[in-house]
Structure 1
Amino acid sequence: MTAVPDTHTGRTPGDGPAPPDLGELISALQSHGVRVEAPVERRTGGAGPSDSGMLWLEGRPVTVPTVTDPDAPTPYVLVPEDGGGNGIYRDGRRLAGVSRSRRPRFYDLSTADGVPYEKIALLHLDSLASTVVQACNYWNTADQCTFCGIGVSLDSGATIARKTPEQLAEVSVAARDLDGVVDVTLTTGSSTAPDRGARYVARCGRAVKDASGLPVEIQFEPPRDLGILDEVHRIGGADAVGIHVESFDPQVLARVAPGKFRTGIETYFRTWERAVELWGRGRVSTYVILGMGEDPEVTVEGCRRAIDIGVYPFVVPLRPVAGSLMADQRPPSSEYSSRIYRRVAAHMSLRGMSADDAVAGCARCQACSAIDAVQRTPPLLQIGPRPPDPA
């Protein structure tokens, strides 16, 4: 009798233990990409985990760049196996079991006025995600964030400019019932309003929570008045918030995100401190992107300072987005990313912080980073060597 692979892990009985260092493997795959010999559900264009395949790697959600070209310069390959499973191989050696994601069922539905659900929100493995306002006041200006692709999806017709709370509530119920979604992440482009769009995304979150009961993270830029955070909290549409600085290196921030640079890193820290008071430790997070020329020491120290006040630094490698100003840049090496991961994860462990504290959003999902897998893989380096500057 042929063993049947587990739905999520892709492993079959008798495969043996999981790889001893899954964090290192995830980091390598996200740097080098993987060649696929079977169809993989992918997200192309726009913001989020763009131009990536969505996989369950030994039971963990992972997004990795995927290619089909047999001559692609990656040593990793996803191979279908007997019995219906899949494996990640390198040089003929099986490294991990994989389950491929399928096309979400809710994508085949539309609202009563004819808008496809797929244009309202997307499934990121087990998380529903939507950019509620697909526009940013930085886009197509000198202040445009060079890593961002928020306008790409809209220009391609893959989404609509503004999602209503009612639309998002409807889609979240369908995604929960048809595809097993466990949380919802709602983000928005920055606006020139004093709240930077936070009130609207919070109202959308409240509609989703009321309809689906799912935990929600909302993401927005620091509002001009910290009192707006209290308003957003009272709306009750968020279990967690993401306020993303992107880089702690001010020289890098000035180059890749001039608008955020003018907001100021200290403004982010003040905003995070108030947000932690409202939502709690570990329920406030920030993206920290590696591979943009940042100083590793400045990056690690910024992450440590964020952790100390209760903010989860969601460290990710640069994922070049097609159509963005950084489309042609390469991700950082896995060695570089792993050294940063180990040092930041060590400090999180020291301070009693982990992804378990997050109830929704990117820090809960973890698919675009290896930091949680690294943190859960002993032994952890408390103080690692200085990483080399990324190439």
Structure 2
Amino acid sequence: MTQTADTRVPITNVDDGSRLSDLILELQEKGLAVKGPIERRPGGAGPSDAGMIWVEGTPVTVPVDAAYVASSPYSLEAEDSGHGIYRDGVRMASATPAGRPHFYDLETADGTPYWKLALMHLDSLASTVLQTCAYWGNSDQCTFCGIGVSLSSGSTVKVKRPEQLAEVAVAARDLDGAVDITLTTGSTWGKDRGAYYVSKCGKAMKEASGLPVEVQFEPPTDLAVIDKVHDLGIDSLGIHVESFDPQVLARVAPPKARTGIERYFETWKYAVERFGEGQVSTYVILGMGEDRDVTLAGIRRAIDIGVYPFIVPLRPVPGSLMADAVPPSREYTESIARVVAPELVARGLTADKVSAGCARCQACSALGSLERTVQLGMPALGALPVSSAS
């Protein structure tokens, strides 16, 4: 994949939705230099290195810890009232860094701190319920993943129990305004790939808190697993292929490549029939060397069957096998997202209809912001020139 030189018009300020989308794309490419405290997700089972912040009231996560952030022209600066995002000393937007959630100060009866069981991702409560994976530490390890990084750092526990997570869900709702729950898991060797346990945890949390729940797992070997997950009252599913390019998938996620992209489509189709259009999503990570046309074709096919493609730029996780990589250029991410957003709007498959999970939150992607500009009839990105990449 080649990327052309930066020929875009510089952002002057964020004065409408299209400029906000543009700034989000910039921040997710270059990262944000942060001098003060900010809530962050340094590891985890998926793309992370996430500094959590509201930009002009919109939830956004941006790289803050990776080495390349040191050269970012963007910084978070304290002001007389609140904070601002600055580029080379010029104020771009107002910002509110996420503070430490109140429920982090609590612990279970056995002395486990709540923050080791689940974290607030802005307005979403999230947890990796099994912090181990059958693929970690061997030739099958997904290169973008940091699930073992969190565990080795002592910032989490290996197995979260449903009753513990139910406790945390109520506290996060009551003390910090959590609006949904996102649960993922390391994959297991079982036929369900961990789906039963993560869904059992989701059921307990939903019954205790009343919050909608998304659970994330690999395609199970038996599609009847999807029915059992649905019967547990789960609202949304994340079944993440990560890349539609088979060559990239074989390089960055060998177990997913062995499963095969066609099996993902079979699983998605079955899941959409049970959960409804837009309640099944897949991460699509951009910037791993994928073919742009193959990627767009896969995204369109997913949209056609009612699957929401959650498009994110690669966010290298410190400590992962891709720790030394860098995100793709804003132009490349934009060249795909600005094609996809209008198609999602036309299909009626937009983020505001998703019940729970990453696609509902949208903080790690500019796609939701782009959808809103299309819905409002605004130009996709303020008519800024876009350099294509292939």
Question: Where does residue 251 of structure 2 map in the other structure?
Answer: 255
CA distance in 2, matches of 1:75, 1:385: 20
Is 1:271 the counterpart of 2:271 in the alignment? no
Match of 1:58 among 56, 59, 71: 56
Question: Where does residue 317 of structure 1 map in the other structure?
Answer: 313
Q: TM-score, normalised by structure 2?
A: 0.91
Match of 2:340 among 329, 344, 358: 344
Is 1:213 the counterpart of 2:195 in the alignment? no
Matched residue SS, 1:66:
coil
Q: What aligned pairs does 1:1-391 form with structure 2 within 5 A after superposition?
A: 17-18=15-16, 20-48=18-46, 50-66=48-64, 72-82=70-80, 84-236=81-233, 238-377=234-373, 378-380=378-380, 387-389=388-390
More displaced 10-residue stretch of structure 1: 343-352 or 298-307: 343-352
8 A contact 2:66–2:316 mirrored in 1: no
Matched residue SS, 1:21:
helix
Q: CA, structure 1 residues 51+36, in 2 after alignment: closer, same or farther (shift >3 Å)?
A: same
CA distance in 1, matches of 2:22, 2:108: 42
8 A contact 2:282–2:308 mirrored in 1: yes
More displaced 10-residue stretch of structure 1: 34-43 or 156-165: 34-43
1:281-304 deviation per Cα after TM superposition (whole angstroms, max 9, x unaligned): 001000000010000111111111
Q: Which amino acid is 1:140 matched to? A: G
Structure 1 regions of 5+ residues with no counterpart?
1-14
1:305-340 deviation per Cα after TM superposition (whole angstroms, max 9, x unaligned): 101100000000111111110011011111111111
Question: Where does residue 5 of structure 1 map in the other structure?
Answer: none
Matched residue SS, 1:376:
helix
8 A contact 1:153–1:159 mirrored in 2: yes
8 A contact 1:42–1:52 mirrored in 2: yes
Q: CA, structure 1 residues 16+275, in 2 after alignment: closer, same or farther (shift >3 Å)?
A: closer
1:212-242 deviation per Cα after TM superposition (whole angstroms, max 9, x unaligned): 0001000011010111111111122x11000
In the TM superposition, residue 18 of structure 1 has moved relative to its aligned partner by 4.2
1:223-264 deviation per Cα after TM superposition (whole angstroms, max 9, x unaligned): 10111111111122x110000000000000000000000000
The number of residues matched between the two structures is 371
Matched residue SS, 2:60:
strand
CA distance in 2, matches of 1:99, 1:29: 15
CA distance in 1, matches of 2:17, 2:265: 37
Q: Which amino acid is 1:35 matched to? A: A
Structure 2 regions of 5+ residues with no counterpart?
1-12
Question: Where does residue 6 of structure 1 map in the other structure?
Answer: none
Q: TM-score, normalised by structure 1?
A: 0.91
